[in-house]
Homo-oligomer: A and B are copies of this chain.
């Protein structure tokens, strides 16, 4: 799957967007996140995976816990990509689909 595609797919689910919003306020481990969402830990882990594949979040282990945080370094690129789609501009080079 293309990089773009995994990004947009990741954003297509409301739970995943909410996870990003929560992580904007600060890192959290999987268990803490799990308390905020009314779905099983397994399902949540699945969402984490998609967010990681899209390079939107990163993880580190601390003992038994896995700490999730935004991969802020990617957010600039993401913003550029979205503006490319949405803003006017001369479309000099088409970034996707060719």
Mark A residues whose CB is within 8 Å of B: 2, 4-5, 8-9, 11-12, 14, 17-18, 20-21, 24-25, 72, 75, 78-79, 82-83, 85-88, 91, 94, 96-97
Whether the Cβ atoms of B94 and A86 lie closer than 8 Å is no
Q: List 23 A-B contacts (CB under 8 A).
A: A4-B14, A8-B12, A8-B17, A9-B12, A11-B11, A11-B12, A11-B85, A12-B12, A17-B97, A18-B96, A18-B97, A20-B85, A21-B85, A21-B91, A21-B96, A21-B97, A25-B91, A72-B88, A75-B87, A79-B82, A79-B83, A79-B86, A82-B86
Known pairs A8-B8, A14-B96; list 18 more (Cβ under 8 Å).
A4-B14, A8-B11, A8-B12, A11-B11, A11-B12, A17-B96, A18-B96, A18-B97, A20-B85, A21-B85, A21-B91, A21-B94, A24-B88, A75-B87, A78-B86, A79-B83, A79-B87, A82-B82
